[in-house]
Amino acid sequence: LKKQSSGLISRSEDEESLGVKDVKRTATQAFGSSVPKRRSSSRSIKRKKFDDELVESSLVKSSTRVKGPPVIEPVRCSGSEPSSSEKKKVAKSGTALTPPLTMVMNPAPLTKRVKKSKQPLHITKDLGRWKPTDDLLLINAVLQTTDLTSVHLGVKFSCRFTLREIKERWYALLYDPVISKLAWQAMRQLHPEAIAAIQSKALFSQTEEAMLAKIGSTSQPKLDVFQELLSNYPAVFHPSRTPKSLLVHWQLLKQYYLLDDQSVQPLPKGDQVLNFSDAEQMVDDVKLKESRDEVLEHELMVSDRHQKREIRQLEQELPRWQVLVDSITGMSMPDFDNQTLAALRGRMVRYLMRSREITLGRATKDKQIDVDLSLEGPAWKISRKQGIIKLKNNGDFFIANEGRRPIYIDGRPVLSGNKWKLNNNSVVEIAGLRFVFLINLELISLIKAEAAKMAPQ
């Protein structure tokens, strides 16, 4: 029975293989008539897969999903040998399964690598916030103060740590070999300048503050005093201390009344406690009751005397002026008095001529003139002594140009060093400033008559 059953199974398998071959032949005949023959090549050509190839590829995909060694064998009973067609199938499937085998076998070492990399990450998960600079700050501060609470209050780390975190980190640096080794390697890679900057921020120990507190608060120590302290007590002070840093810390101690000769005044005992505004008012009242500054009063007295002297000098110069300046009230003819010979009227002011000779120009501190043309308008182009107006004995007025720029009389230029006669209502233009020269004809006629009487004598 066993032999008959095995023979039947082998026959059925041979028939199946023959059926598959017939299907392949019909497929090649069907497609071979339409598709032209191609030249064979060693390269793999991308083409559409046939039905049997699709079945084989699906079997390969299903085999890749199964875990374990990928071995595909045909279904057969024990004791039977595989036929030639089965061997061909196994050979074909073996060639097709070589790429998936590599794909399945390669991820195994990757999983092992991931597991190995996870172990140090699990150990160093607490090292992210603590930088090597923080570790160095913590070590220096603990060596100086031997108190983790003062380290928590006085040291400024890269981020805010709680007292519990600082304690845990310190114990880890002391007793955990992995963390201490990693921290030591990271601190050794720091730049020397960074290490020096961190050491300069080290907290002051109690012995250092005791040495600084011996310096009196009333004294004004210089850097030489602190340099002597550093040279005399090198074992007490930190190696990174400088005279400047000691001076700054001593000033802080003095500000908070922590020196030996200072004492903090106790708060007043009672219900009434002074606030800031009340204390400020008391300070202001004390300042008001202080004596006056004698030096300031003396300086104010001297400046007052100087101003009075200048006012007196100006009052003495008033009668010496020969020209009076009045504001123009209208364009009508001015009313001359018995002492005014002529008038030089501008747009803003009017100059009265009461002597036979007056000077025109721009007044300065060093030099005073009779007619200051800067009162009329911008006179920065006018010379300090621009010209002279003079009355002759025959009653004629002449103007002489003594400045750099020309003087225009009725549109005619009078150059420097020349003279020109002035008539009544003559227009005088000097550096863009225009004036009208008006003559007191009544007074000039009297002067001419007196000059004519004196001439025959």
- pLDDT at position 169, please? 93
- pLDDT at position 38, please? 61
Span 203-255, pLDDT tens digits: 999 999 999 998 988 888 889 999 999 999 999 999 999 999 999 999 999 88
- pLDDT at position 408, please? 92
pLDDT above 60: residue 7: no
Alpha carbons 443 and 353: distance in angstroms, whole number: 12
Mean pLDDT across the stretch 29-46?
Answer: 58
β 349-353/433-439 pair status: unpaired
* Amino acid symbol at 237: F
Alpha carbons 56 and 60: distance in angstroms, whole number: 6
Residue with tokens 């600084």: 212
Residue 397 neighbours by CB distance under 10 Å? 21
Domain boundaries, the chain: 132-200, 206-256, 342-454
What's the first-to-final CA gap in the chain, in angstroms?
192
**Can you read off the two tokens belonging to residue 22?**
């017939």
Which of the two residues, 223 and 34, has the higher pLDDT score? Answer: 223
Span 331-383, pLDDT tens digits: 445 567 778 889 888 888 888 888 889 998 888 888 888 888 888 888 778 88
**Can you read off the two tokens belonging to residue 451?**
């000059």
Span 115-156, pLDDT tens digits: 444 444 434 444 568 999 999 999 999 999 989 999 999 899
pLDDT above 90: residue 97: no
Tell which residue, 401, 393, 408, has the closest CA to residue 451. Answer: 393
Residue 120: which region, alpha, beta or left (left: phi > 0; alpha: psi -120 to 50)?
alpha
Angle between helices 243-255 and 206-213 (to 10 degrees): 80
271 pLDDT band, cuts 50/70/90, is: low
pLDDT above 70: residue 432: yes
Mean pLDDT across the stretch 298-305?
Answer: 91
- pLDDT at position 126, please? 45
Which of the two residues, 174 and 328, has the higher pLDDT score? Answer: 174
Residues in the chain: 457
- pLDDT at position 49, please? 67
185 pLDDT band, cuts 50/70/90, is: very high
* Amino acid symbol at 324: L
DSSP for residue 45: P
- pLDDT at position 52, please? 66
197 pLDDT band, cuts 50/70/90, is: very high
- Lowest mean pLDDT, pick from 37-41, 69-73, 82-86, 403-407: 69-73
Domain 342-454: give its CATH architecture. Sandwich (2.60)
Query: Which phi and psi angles does 121 have, rounded to 5°?
Result: -65, -40
Average pLDDT, the chain: 75
Residue with tokens 């005992």: 269
Which of the two residues, 412 and 292, has the higher pLDDT score? Answer: 412
**Can you read off the two tokens belonging to residue 372?**
């200051």
- pLDDT at position 13, please? 54
